[in-house]
Structure 1
Amino acid sequence: MSTETEIRGRLLLNNEEYQQLAANHDSLDTRLAKLASQHYLSENEQAEEKTLKKRKLQTKDRMEHILRGSPRPSAQALKNSTESTASG
């Protein structure tokens, strides 16, 4: 039986959406690391950091859905998820 790591590797080779999500996740991670390395964040940078963290989590969630073979969450479900995290 394949391990999760092997499945991820195959998805990175064969699944265009997964490839794009992985690249986006890495890009978000790089930007967040740059923000984290700063001693002080302006209000705009703090807001950007919060937004980037949400986007990174949504990207990771979608990657996990693909990995597990789950169907794509509906646009409404994503919207509701975003709204609930924004209000909390």
Structure 2
Amino acid sequence: MEKKDLEIIAQLSDKNPEIKILWEEHQLYEKQLDKLEKKAYRTPEEDRVIKDLKKKKLSGKTRLQTILDRLQAEA
């Protein structure tokens, strides 16, 4: 995400619980992905988990960006 978007998220997360939840989930998925992707060897199950986490992260990021775009259009 762009620095500008990160600043907006920080400002709005206190006022908008959906933004806060989506951002916290995004950060959680990022940490989980980092941990799994750093492993030298992964099981097929871990590869599946990585794929699922990436989908969830992208879905949340898309939803978050949609909210930010809507709020910026209203401003």
Same fold (TM over 0.5): yes
Letter in 2 for 1:66: I
Letter in 2 for 1:67: L
- CA RMSD of the aligned region, Å? 1.6
Residue aligning to 2:65:
64
Deviation at 1:10, TM superposition (A): 2.3
- The alignment's TM-score, normalised by the length of structure 1, stands at 0.70
Letter in 2 for 1:46: D
How many residues get paired?
Answer: 68
Rate the CA distance shift 1:7–1:49 in 2: closer, same or farther, 3 A.
Answer: same
Residue correspondence of structure 1 range 38-53 to structure 2 within 5 A:
38-53=39-54
Rate the CA distance shift 1:25–1:10 in 2: closer, same or farther, 3 A.
Answer: same
**Structure 2 residue 50 is matched with structure 1 residue 55:** no
- The alignment's TM-score, normalised by the length of structure 2, stands at 0.81
Distance 1:5 1:40 in 2: 33
Distance 2:65 2:16 in 1: 13
Greater Cα radius of gyration, structure 1 or 2: 1
Higher RCO (C-alpha under 8 Å, 6+ residues apart): 2
Residue aligning to 1:9:
10
Identical-residue share of aligned pairs (%): 32
Residue aligning to 2:25:
24
| Consecutive unaligned residues in structure 1, runs of 5 or more | 71-88
Letter in 1 for 2:32: R
Query: Post-superposition, which runs of at least 4 consecutive aligned residues in structure 1 deviate over 2 A?
Result: 3-10
Residue aligning to 2:35:
34
Distance 1:4 1:34 in 2: 25
